[in-house]
Amino acid sequence: MFSVRLYIRVLAYVAAIVLFAGFGVAGLAGGRAVIFGAISIIVSLVIVARLVYALNAVNRRVRLFLDSITGDSTEFSFPENASGREERLLHREFNRVYERLAAHRAEEFERELARKEYESWEKLMHVLTHEIMNSISPIVSLSGTLQSYFKPGADGAHGPIDDAVISKTVRALETIRCQGEHLIYFTEAYRQLAFLKRPEPAPFSLREMIDATVTLFADEMAECGVKFSVSFDRSDVVVFADEKMLMRVLINLLKNSLQALEDMATAGEIGLTVEVDDCRRELCVRVTDNGPGIPDGLADEIFIPFFTTKPGGSGIGLSLSRQIMRMHGGDLTVGTNYVGRTVFAARLPLEPFRVRC
């Protein structure tokens, strides 16, 4: 057995330590073989070190084994070509246990992905149902009311058609028209999200694209008294990506910040910074504002299609923007900086879409 061999090795080490230590002490104590005694003591210390190393060998492997389980390593394995048969069997069993744990962890990961995907679809269906029902219910109700105005002999008939009935009819038809237009807008927004075209990359100057986008909001910012600043950490950045799609993302982010500053009692401020992170190999465009921020627990919800916290909002802008960034291999996230300002960060990897500085 592996344990018997280990005991024999330990006893051999202990015997060698005692033997050399005894020779060393005897040589040093007698004073006649000081050099021999010193060498014996050194040899005994070396043997002690080798014994400690041998005893910890299995412990080190087990520690690595446990660390690989608690961590994210997927390349860990014990060598199965060890010299002893028992040691090879032990390593093989460790590897089998690790493979099973790794497979179990992969299954858990897949289940978690499936759960999150289901929750996302559930939230989307809830939003879709809520939006459609809110539009259709008034149409059905008002249609029935109008029918009662003009259907002779019906229980709900309101008598002769006078100016009051005509006025109510006009208001009802106007409401039906508005609800219908909202449904058309909602359907168009869904079509843009569901059938978003693939990026058509071409080289363009990021500074020129940002300047053109900011120009669209210059008058609105001035009218609202919003202080705006732009900062580049490089003189110019040439991006090989879909300019129109990235411009749409920037428009959505600036529009989102302006809407957040609408009801501000203090002066609104929007900052736009462009950074190229050579270590992470990514380009990052950050849009920062001093608005009220994202309500607690809604940082992930705001990217769900058609989810909105603004009256009259479509809930499509941020979702569409994140999808565009991910189609470019990047991402769109939201957070809060050290002074409590809301920060939307649009990240674009330097590859596969090229960024030249």
pTM for this entry: 0.53
Q: How many domains does the chain have?
A: 2
In a domain? residue 90? no
| Sequence-separated (6 or more) residues with CB below 8 Å from residue 251 | 213, 216
**Residue pair 316/305 in contact by the 8 Å Cβ criterion:** yes
* Cα-based angle 146, 149, 151 (whole degrees, multiple of 5): 100
Does residue 123 form part of some domain? no
pLDDT at position 345 over 90: yes
Owning domain of residue 54: 2-76
CB-side exposure of 249: number of CA atoms within 13 Å? Answer: 31
Task: Judge whether residue 173 has pLDDT over 80.
Answer: yes
Is 179 contained in some domain? no
Domain-terminating residue out of 76, 110, 130: 76
C-alpha span between 291 and 218 (Å, rounded): 18
Asked if residue 352 is part of any domain, the answer here is yes
For residue 89, how far is the Cα from the chain centroid?
42
CATH code of 231's domain = 3.30.565.10
Residue-wise pLDDT for 277-323, tens only, equals 877 788 999 999 988 777 777 777 777 776 666 655 566 788 888 88
Does residue 160 surpass a pLDDT of 80? no
245 within some domain: yes
**Full DSSP string of 240-261:** EE-HHHHHHHHHHHHHHHHHHT
The separation between CA 353 and the C-alpha centre of its own chain, rounded to angstroms, equals 20
**96 is a domain residue:** no
Is 248 within 8 Å of 327 (Cβ atoms)? no
Question: CA-to-CA distance for 349 and 277, rounded, in angstroms?
Answer: 9
pLDDT tens-digit series, residues 207-252: 999 989 888 888 888 888 889 999 988 878 888 899 989 998 999 8
Last residue of a domain, one of 15, 49, 76: 76
pLDDT for 155: 47
| Rg of the Cα atoms in the chain | 36
Spatial strand order in the sheet of 238-241: 202-205, 238-241, 355-356
Out of 11, 41, 76, pick the residue that ends a domain: 76
- pLDDT, residue 193, reads 62
CA distance 54 to 222: 75
Please indicate, yes or no, whether residues 352 and 206 belong to a single structural domain of this protein: yes
In a domain, 70, yes or no: yes
